[in-house]
Structure 1
């Protein structure tokens, strides 16, 4: 079969070697590589390394070395063609058929490299010659150093439709067309594709010229500013990143790779000393390009212009990346100031300005939230609901279940904080007490009567609760504490109102307390006492804030803690019940939420126990539970 070197390069590019090896060997991260105990000889100290960027494994102990194909042959014991077929199937590639025509085509493809390399030499010579003066002046105005121009291979395509056939006479017309250097119009006339443009070679991961990009010097009506080679047997723009062969070694040193919008941005960064930058080639980032980036670093930095087009580019990249997210594999995003590209920013503010931005990128989820939030006005409930729907639609595209669950949770928290901000307390107003006004007194154990105007149910529950030895001791103590310090009722009105919605038994008691708050006697030493003059409350339900000898300020703060505990537990229980109810429709999110709520409930239980032990030399509450 015609298995060419180019086809094997493509196969290796589609296989993540560490993932293949980890099917049978335990590997751990070691910087930019993976390490483990060598499977080819016995060892206790790991000396076996896998490098995804260079696409090989190597053992420093026994010298075993190879790529994905040799791994399948040497470790799995497959024959060469069986290894190729298995890897091709997992990579979604067709194994070349045993066709002589295919073999000839592969040979021709290899020779296309000769065409592109020769074309590059021609363009470089043209730039250095008399016809390249205007192009040299343009590059000088851009501030590109001579060293950068040589490193990136700048050239010049003269404004001549037949320059290449005359210069490259060793290649037939079909070879020039096959390499993307020539084109034909509807009349069949053949002409040079690139004319009157500054030329840049586009190279593969091995540094071989496979295509070109050209930029016009002056803006002309109806003429594209940038022109790239078409897709050919050598060049697939969706699988190629400009400057990858230079950026990959630099990224291994910096631990970072920067993705900018175009190749002139890459060169501007390199001219400023930032060597770890790449760019797509006239298209949005593709899935294959993202895979190439993730082989270099775990979180590439996408750097986009600050205008609307840059924001759209960021969202396109995010949408492509979401289904591919995996543990320790994401994106971060930098948005430049509006109206500035990397070259403009460096020239106006210096290299330090862009380095500072690159050092503090926004996370993928932060950018997703910000872009969707700012996409349109959110001044109606319907618009806010639309925001949530758009965000959750993005989340649903994530394939990894754990990451999807975590994104759903964080997006939900962000939306809740945005759409339901905390409201200011709106406690019911309480008219001031008028001297001489008759006050209705709460009854205590042994008291002769209950307040007037209560319903029979509320009267019975209030009597039962305020009596000793019953459940809900904390509620009983809070009500008694508020009776002693009625000025605290307004402070806790909102919290207690929420409790009435969660606890039916507590509701009439709290509502009665609100009614009576307007007429409670707040004169010292105690707010309320029974007709016999016995101070309220009786000792058998005494907490620290009910101790007459306690400092009033400290007592009120402890009362506030009691109210908080009283309200938190039923709220958490209600939230837990709602979360359990949606388990079937959202098992991952429900489980994570249940775990969080149960931990909070345990914390509340601990606080309740500690609170119950803090008494002011009083009688214990016995076996009553909250």
Structure 2
């Protein structure tokens, strides 16, 4: 199979891929700057599109094109990275010079992801897992001891749990949802799991507090993960990427 790398770069602007990976970008000269996801970056040392179609971190030295970024960010090989780009961005997107790299909704790709109704159901099952008794107790304790926040009053007032935790394993959520009938394709499409180089699924959110995102209709559309300090170099926040229920451009 012959792959036109230049066409892949043209079809998938690097700023879109970086923004979708949870990096908040701001305009800087001809390109963008943000906090590098590959090391503990406190100074926004990641340059994106300063050199057209390239990224470079002035802190850790990570660099390359959009394919290299996806390979590094998700631990994929060359072909897996291209497949991930094609899955998440089936059509080319343009980065608005006025408003920044905020991707719009991706058209549904037949046979590759769940319907909107099914996607909401999967999010609900994931939230039940994140807020199980042990996971919720850990989240509640961590907030109280590390941030001085007692969420008990808030949860009593809204009569619902407002924070959860992923647990400490690599595959807990994926295994839980697979046992409930969620397919591996659905897990990847919902950004709840990702494939490794060996083809196994691992959880997207690991060792993180989980905060739910709801739309104006009250539907659970995605999750934000907050690092609890157990993974040195990990970004503090892991924001949702575009899924059948979540698009940053319409959620903000």
Q: Highest Rg: 1 or 2?
A: 1
- TM-score using structure 2 length: 0.35
Which structure has more RCO (C-alpha within 8 Å, separation ≥ 6)? 2
Q: Larger % of helix: which?
A: 1
